[in-house]
A and B are shown apart, each in its own frame.
Chain A
Amino acid sequence: MDCSLLRTLVSRYCAGEENWVDSRTIYVGHREPPPGAEAYIPQRFPDNRIVSSKYTFWNFIPKNLFEQFRRIANFYFLIIFLVQLIIDTPTSPVTSGLPLLFVITVTAIKQGYEDWLRHKADNAINQCPVHFIQHGKLVRKQSRKLRVGDIVMVKEDEKFPCDLIFLSSSRGDGTCFVTTTSLDGESSHKTYYAVQDTKAFHNEQEIDALHATIECEQPQPDLYKFVGRINVYHDRNEPIARPLGSENLLLRGATLKNTEKIFGVAIYTGMETKMALNYQSKSQKRSAVEKSMNVFLVVYLCILVSKALINTVLKYAWQSEPFRDEPWYNQKTEPEKKRNLFLQAFTDFLAFMVLFNYIIPVSMYVTVEMQKFLGSYFIAWDEEMFDEGTGEGPLVNTSDLNEELGQIEYVFTDKTGTLTENNMEFVECCIEGHVYIPHVICNGQILHDCTGIDMIDSSPGGSGKEREELFFRAICLCHTVQVKDDDSIDGLKKNQVPRRPCIYISSSPDEVALVEGIQRLGYTYLRLKDNYMEILNRENNIEKFELLEVFSFDSVRRRMSVIVKSSAGDIFLFCKGADSSIFPRVKEGKIEQVRSRVQRNAVEGLRTLCVAYKKLTAEEYSNVQKLLQSAKLALQERDKKLAEVYEKIERDFILLGATAVEDRLQEKAADTIEALQKAGIKVWVLTGDKMETAAATCYACKLFRRNTQILELTTKKIEEQSLHDVLFDLNKTVIRQNGSLTRDTFSGLSSDTQDYGLIIDGAALSLIMKPRHDGSSGNYREIFLNICRNCTAVLCCRMAPLQKAQIVKLIKLSKEHPITLAIGDGANDVSMILEAHVGIGIIGREGRQAARNSDYAIPKFKHLKKMLLVHGHFYYIRISELVQYFFYKNVCFIFPQFLYQFFCGFSQQTLYDTAYLTLYNISFTSLPILVYGLMEQHVSADTLKREPSLYRDVAKNALLRWRTFIYWTFLGVFDALVFFFGAYLLLDNTVVTSNGQLMTTSTHMVFGTWTFGTVVFTVLVFTVTFKLAIDTHYWTWINHFVIWGSLVFYIVFSLLWGGIIWPFLNYQRMYYVFMQMLSSGPAWLGIILLITVSLLPDALKKVLCRELWPTATERIQTKHQCLSVEQSTIFMLSQTSSSLSF
């Protein structure tokens, strides 16, 4: 993969011959072109081996290690470990080596296992048999041996082994059906077309005789774009050139359906297939918490370095007196004496670094990773976010962003399929001002028997009747709907009753709704066969139309057309599309009536389409054909040329009428949006729909309210005034309001102030975004952003997919750097999902592309509420506590070491034993915080859902601000001072001795170095664990088990560690130290005292803050406690109230 990538890059930048670089020539069946046609340049292509695995058996260890140590944290720990190995350091290399080894091994095993699975999958795919044609015979080979230019045969229900140009199929019309479920998630059958000149070849010999070359572009990842040209040579004649488009390209990973077999020629193989190119991983998104964590890490790194520097300097100052450096009782060895002073100083610096390196623990990374990984399961497990209807639950594609869900400030949502059901219902159609409403409205479901039409207006006569029929035919013909019906397999069905309802499949639900709606009105679309579309009219007669051209729909043109030839020989061009793209092209018809009806419908939130037609004469059609042909043959910029041709053809229409399709709001969409707004999140709707429809939806889902003042920034307004004036006017309005507003933006009580809603359309937006010639581009953007900032809701309509991403980017990069979330369901939302900090996909009807590209996918829009307000909030609380607690406990851990240096002659003597140093972060204090990080619920989930405003308490990274960070650090330093000087005073004034009478022999001990360290360490472990206990608001049995279990484990471990002479150790300094400490009364009293003192300030601060400056969350907590108390018995109540008033 790297190779091909590199080559494309190299060739892109180095080669001058662009023609060769940007296209490739393939010789079908490896046959050289006839001499003189073109120079035969054999190009080298990769074979068809798919390599998704990263490692091989041989390079796993070095490559994996290299990958792992590229992470800055791992590298740092490796350096520390190496320093410990090389120089004479106070702590043994085991203390940092063991945790590092653990982390590296676990990661390596995990990655190795994943890679092994990939290898297995690769092998299965690379070795699966493929039929291809060699010298006119069918040969079976392994898939990986396939080469570019080979002719391949694929049977029904087989997957295509590589990207193929479709040459011929067993179906007579040269089509085949394909599902691309594994590529883009769309399960509908798509039709592909064989190359015209080769579709007649049905057996191996014929295919083998084909002599052709294919020129096409180099592989690119866009699944839906392909341009190429095939030159077919017939003996000695000039080659016939045919255009190739994406409809001729069968993609690897797609499956052949309803077609016995096809032949195709391989053009992209192996890692160059579009599927493989699409597999490239998305760029990593990093959460705000991770960013602040990294900042804190840098701070701690500075603290670490400065600690080491201070100690090194002090050491040499202190040692300047020779009797201190080398007293008679403590001589240096010969090599030490000889060592260069500067080298010695540097070594000492490193040794201090090693001594204090635990302040940045390896285990923090592991714990954070585990918390995120395991935590994401709670999202996926959530039953409330499971949708019974579709059988889908939430998907978690990345676990890195759990806490980011609690930080969202802007939500960008798509409208269709996200706010609305995307479950279209045909509501009415309006033909020349007459409104038709079908009685029974259905969509895809089993139909009830349908009665005719309910006409509001009187039936038109004469020419009206003709137009009406034309309208129905237009709707029946102008679409890309397929009928889910198999004529090739079972011929029985053909003879069945024609009224039998068909199942229609289309990538656009509107089309299905339309075709089905029209069925209610009496016209049934039957099928497309051999390029003839068959419809069943009201008289139960089958009408056949030859399908000549399809100008497929795209979001820029916002319309589609077909050219059909009726059995009478008339050529019609039917076009349907958005009103804005149809009306300007209409020259005749009852425009005014239709327009008013369309607008009325749009205001009601219906999706409207206009239908128009035009009759073509034979020569007009041949003109059209010529234009199309030339455009389709173009290798470069074919899309642009095609669009130009479409533009030329699609004009001078006669308006027929309009349709209205209803797209119902998703359940609880309004409730969700209201909750999000209460939570202080700004909701923007970005849609490709027209303004009126979108605005109606916005009102329906309470994004805009009755009293919202709507500001419009639309093309229409800009036409009246200049953009400049409009922007400044709006800005003034908004600013005036803002000026009168008191500066309590956090109170969230905006109900009494004026709300603003902004509506902007795509054209206006592109004007704003367009860089201006005088270089004042930033100016408009700033004003625009300022307006947006002061609006509670913004609606952007008529957006192209890229514009959606542009808007997200604009907000993302504005000066407050807000955290954005994009939610959508369709392929057109992918760009904004990828752009936003958090991308959420709706597992919806428009394929799974959005869900695949998202960070999280949910079945329904309403689930966003729980996702953000509950899961996001919880994870933010959890991880912020986790991060700060980790720093806190390591300050507590390491600061006494630092202080001890002042009492041991800066000799890097450790205060704690090696085992304690190693296990402190790994086992004594690791599990409680991890469990806290998974289980903590400071308020119940129901409360969070009921009170969305609690979300504001954690907005803007509130729990990881500098103030909190400094508070935690100082708390750590304070506790460390208490531990150290407490133990110091306990031991320094007099020797603590225990009463000998308690033991059988009169033993009196003198505490030594290790007892001192053990006292400090015991106080440390207990304090740090109790501190977490104080912070825990949700004590499940797991919390109890883990917190008390850790303490018990510490005691048991210490008893064991000190109770035995360990044969593998070369020192026995901990022998019986812990027991001796426990047998001493003052040590107990001292430990209890020190724990109390170190916990006191934090508890006091918590209580005072709660009493004097309670946050909304704290009020809720208190209220809840009161409530739950009231619910309990009266006896309990009286007791509690008495204690409250104590």
Chain B
Amino acid sequence: MAVNYSAKEEADGHPSGGVGVPGGGAVGGGGGAGAVKTRKPDNTAFKQQRLPAWQPILTAGTVLPAFFIIGLIFIPIGIGIFVTSNNIREYEIDYTGTEPSSPCNKCLNVSWDSTPPCTCTINFTLEHSFESNVFMYYGLSNFYQNHRRYVKSRDDSQLNGDNSSLLNPSKECEPYRTNEDKPIAPCGAIANSMFNDTLELYRIDNDTRTPITLIKKGIAWWTDKNVKFRNPTGDGNNLTALFQGTTKPVNWPKPVYMLDSEPDNNGFINEDFIVWMRTAALPTFRKLYRLIERKNSFQPTLQAGKYSLDIAYNYPVHSFDGRKRMILSTISWMGGKNPFLGIAYITVGSICFFLGVVLLFIHHKYGNRNTSADIPN
């Protein structure tokens, strides 16, 4: 309505002006010269929808080369990935112990607090030697680390060393927030269920067991270890004092400040803990456990031969039908063993090439018809 009123004013002005002028204006001559100027739209390319533009059209002519190019690029990449992936050595042992024959069968129904821990040893043979650095993983199956209740059950500010969150953890941590009226550090279901099997690897050479050095540092993301996870701050570096007033997670045998003997791998910045805290996307997952570095360039990291794996079996998975695995793997420029990517690249490349051929055929057969049909138009 407001607009109406203002328009009214404008419209009224003209006829009253026109009356005095003899012979001025046509019938109902409302729009004067002034109105012409204001109403006339600008002749800009934008307003007239005439901006210069590139007008591509997806025709067989333009798409055909694209298909061939995709085919030609993808197939070599795929082959490259496939070959690299196949060169990666990987060895996997399931040590859950569900089969009665398995050495770990006795530990199947182990509970959290069994002391001393149930131990078992599995012997295995590597057919091929592992040339470069070897990564040792543990793998769990049917373990829903991605369950919503589980994923959110943590307090990131507590883990970041925030002192108030340390003593007053987030509500998200329920029911693993407090124990006997003391705040749990680290709180939450994720921390509470931290993987606590201990795996040790021995090389068996003529019945002598040589332990293989497993490096436990450098397995977590650098940013996690240095920025995201921090121990609480306070006077001195005594973690025991810093964590005072808190209690250990229910399932843990010992508190967080006793995870490791080295101070830069203890408390919240323990790398095993950090790795565990990065929840997996899928119910079957593996997590990096240890690194085995190549000693020198003359010897493979792991020679072909007999090995044994000593397991301190603490982590119960039988109750939820879970499986536990130990994986040894080398990596390449494109990561771990993954035949999928290579195969997918080869397949897509071939399909593109094939489609290109089909399109070429169609274009030759029908394309001419279209253009010829156009000409009489």
B-chain residues with CB within 8 Å of residue A935 when the two chains form the complex: 49, 51
B283 to chain A, nearest CB (A): 6
Quick check: B1 and A279 within 8 Å, CB to CB?
Answer: yes
Quick check: A1036 and B51 within 8 Å, CB to CB?
Answer: yes
A438 within 8 A of B: no
Provided the pairs A327-B319, A327-B320 are in contact, do residues A1008 and B53 lie with their beta carbons within 8 angstroms?
A: no
Which A164-217 residues have C-beta < 8 A from chain B?
A: 179, 181-182, 185-189
Quick check: A1082 and B338 within 8 Å, CB to CB?
Answer: yes
B-chain residues with CB within 8 Å of residue A1008 when the two chains form the complex: 278-281
Quick check: A1037 and B51 within 8 Å, CB to CB?
Answer: yes
Provided the pairs A255-B12, A383-B48, A1107-B363 are in contact, do residues A181 and B189 lie with their beta carbons within 8 angstroms?
A: no
A326 to chain B, nearest CB (A): 9
Flag A967-989 by CB within 8 Å of B: 1 or 0 each: 00000000000000010111111
B344 within 8 A of A: yes
Quick check: B11 and A444 within 8 Å, CB to CB?
Answer: no
B-chain residues with CB within 8 Å of residue A331 when the two chains form the complex: 175-176, 189
Quick check: B8 and A386 within 8 Å, CB to CB?
Answer: no
A-chain residues with CB within 8 Å of residue B160 when the two chains form the complex: 1061, 1068
A221 within 8 A of B: no
A257 within 8 A of B: yes
B-chain residues with CB within 8 Å of residue A1036 when the two chains form the complex: 51-53
Considering only CB atoms, which chain A residue lies closest to B92 in the complex?
A990
Considering only CB atoms, which chain A residue lies closest to B370 in the complex?
A1110
Considering only CB atoms, which chain B residue lies closest to A384 in the complex?
B48
A737 within 8 A of B: no
B16 within 8 A of A: yes
For the complex, what is the distance from the CA of A1071 to the CA of B221, rounded to whole Å? Answer: 11
Provided the pairs A327-B319, A1006-B288, A1121-B59 are in contact, do residues A444 and B26 lie with their beta carbons within 8 angstroms?
A: yes
B126 within 8 A of A: no
Quick check: B59 and A1103 within 8 Å, CB to CB?
Answer: yes
For the complex, what is the distance from the CA of A332 to the CA of B153, rounded to whole Å? Answer: 11
A82 within 8 A of B: no
Which A326-352 residues have C-beta < 8 A from chain B?
A: 327-334
B55 within 8 A of A: yes
Considering only CB atoms, which chain A residue lies closest to B175 in the complex?
A333
B241 within 8 A of A: no
B323 within 8 A of A: no
A-chain residues with CB within 8 Å of residue B338 when the two chains form the complex: 986, 989-990, 992, 1082
Which A919-950 residues have C-beta < 8 A from chain B?
A: 935, 937, 941
A-chain residues with CB within 8 Å of residue B351 when the two chains form the complex: 1096
Quick check: B12 and A182 within 8 Å, CB to CB?
Answer: yes
A-chain residues with CB within 8 Å of residue B32 when the two chains form the complex: 391
B42 within 8 A of A: yes
For the complex, what is the distance from the CA of A1100 to the CA of B338, rounded to whole Å? Answer: 29
Quick check: A1140 and B61 within 8 Å, CB to CB?
Answer: yes
For the complex, what is the distance from the CA of A1121 to the CA of B341, rounded to whole Å? Answer: 39
Quick check: B147 and A989 within 8 Å, CB to CB?
Answer: no
Quick check: B222 and A995 within 8 Å, CB to CB?
Answer: no
Among the stretches A71-79, A146-154, A240-248, A902-910, the one at the interface with B is: A902-910
A218 within 8 A of B: no
Quick check: A1030 and B23 within 8 Å, CB to CB?
Answer: no
B143 within 8 A of A: yes
The binding surface of chain B is classed by DSSP as mixed
Flag B201-224 by CB within 8 Å of A: 1 or 0 each: 000000000000000001111111
- Which of the residues A114, A378, A1107, A1136 comes within 8 Å of B366, measured between beta carbons? A1107
A280 to chain B, nearest CB (A): 11
For the complex, what is the distance from the CA of A1013 to the CA of B280, rounded to whole Å? Answer: 11
Quick check: B143 and A329 within 8 Å, CB to CB?
Answer: yes
A69 within 8 A of B: no
Quick check: A1118 and B59 within 8 Å, CB to CB?
Answer: yes
Quick check: A1142 and B360 within 8 Å, CB to CB?
Answer: yes
- Which of the residues B8, B60, B151, B192 comes within 8 Å of A181, measured between beta carbons? B8
For the complex, what is the distance from the CA of A504 to the CA of B146, rounded to whole Å? Answer: 86
A381 within 8 A of B: yes
Flag B142-153 by CB within 8 Å of A: 1 or 0 each: 011111111111
A71 to chain B, nearest CB (A): 22
B348 within 8 A of A: yes
- Which of the residues A121, A332, A1033 comes within 8 Å of B57, measured between beta carbons? A1033
Quick check: A1082 and B147 within 8 Å, CB to CB?
Answer: no
Quick check: A909 and B146 within 8 Å, CB to CB?
Answer: yes
Quick check: B23 and A330 within 8 Å, CB to CB?
Answer: no
B-chain residues with CB within 8 Å of residue A381 when the two chains form the complex: 41-42, 47-48
B-chain residues with CB within 8 Å of residue A118 when the two chains form the complex: 1-2
A157 within 8 A of B: yes
A1055 to chain B, nearest CB (A): 13
Quick check: B144 and A1142 within 8 Å, CB to CB?
Answer: no
Quick check: A393 and B40 within 8 Å, CB to CB?
Answer: yes
A95 within 8 A of B: no
B39 within 8 A of A: yes
- Which of the residues B57, B224, B333, B334 comes within 8 Å of A1117, measured between beta carbons? B57
- Which of the residues A179, A187, A1142 comes within 8 Å of B61, measured between beta carbons? A1142
A512 within 8 A of B: yes
B-chain residues with CB within 8 Å of residue A87 when the two chains form the complex: none
Among the stretches A553-561, A661-669, A726-734, A1086-1094, the one at the interface with B is: A1086-1094
Quick check: A1072 and B223 within 8 Å, CB to CB?
Answer: yes
Which B141-169 residues have C-beta < 8 A from chain A?
A: 143-157, 160
For the complex, what is the distance from the CA of A381 to the CA of B43, rounded to whole Å? Answer: 9
B-chain residues with CB within 8 Å of residue A909 when the two chains form the complex: 146-148, 151
A509 within 8 A of B: yes
B-chain residues with CB within 8 Å of residue A1092 when the two chains form the complex: 70, 74, 348
Flag B117-156 by CB within 8 Å of A: 1 or 0 each: 0000000000000000101010000011111111111111
A581 within 8 A of B: no
- Which of the residues B29, B279, B332 comes within 8 Å of A1009, measured between beta carbons? B279
- Which of the residues B55, B63, B155, B339 comes within 8 Å of A1033, measured between beta carbons? B55
A59 within 8 A of B: no
A519 within 8 A of B: no
For the complex, what is the distance from the CA of A994 to the CA of B288, rounded to whole Å? Answer: 12
For the complex, what is the distance from the CA of A1034 to the CA of B45, rounded to whole Å? Answer: 14
Quick check: A995 and B335 within 8 Å, CB to CB?
Answer: yes
A806 within 8 A of B: no
A-chain residues with CB within 8 Å of residue B41 when the two chains form the complex: 380-383, 386, 393
B50 to chain A, nearest CB (A): 8
Provided the pairs A330-B147, A391-B39, A1103-B359 are in contact, do residues A1061 and B228 lie with their beta carbons within 8 angstroms?
A: yes
For the complex, what is the distance from the CA of A375 to the CA of B148, rounded to whole Å? Answer: 44
A-chain residues with CB within 8 Å of residue B47 when the two chains form the complex: 377-378, 381, 383
Flag B20-36 by CB within 8 Å of A: 1 or 0 each: 10110111111111011
B350 within 8 A of A: no
Q: Which 9 interchain pairs have the tightest Cβ spacing? A: A329-B193, A1012-B281, A391-B36, A182-B8, A52-B1, A907-B148, A381-B47, A121-B2, A1036-B51
A990-B336, A1004-B331, A1099-B58 given; 14 more Cβ-contact pairs under 8 Å: A120-B2, A124-B5, A181-B12, A327-B319, A332-B149, A333-B174, A393-B39, A935-B51, A988-B284, A989-B337, A996-B218, A1039-B53, A1089-B341, A1117-B57
> Can you list 20 A-B pairs with a CB-CB distance of less than 8 A?
A181-B12, A328-B193, A328-B320, A331-B189, A333-B175, A505-B27, A509-B27, A904-B283, A905-B283, A1003-B222, A1004-B219, A1008-B278, A1036-B52, A1066-B156, A1067-B156, A1085-B345, A1096-B351, A1099-B58, A1106-B59, A1142-B61
Task: Show the binding face of A for B, using Cβ within 8 Å.
Answer: 52, 90, 114, 117-118, 120-122, 124-125, 157, 179, 181-182, 185-189, 253, 255, 257-258, 279, 323-324, 327-334, 377-378, 380-384, 386, 388, 390-393, 444-446, 484, 486, 500-501, 503-506, 509, 512, 845, 847, 874, 903-905, 907-909, 935, 937, 941, 982, 984-996, 999, 1001-1009, 1011-1013, 1030, 1033-1039, 1061, 1065-1069, 1071-1072, 1075-1076, 1080-1082, 1085-1086, 1089, 1092-1093, 1096, 1099-1100, 1102-1104, 1106-1108, 1110, 1115, 1117-1119, 1121-1122, 1136, 1139-1140, 1142
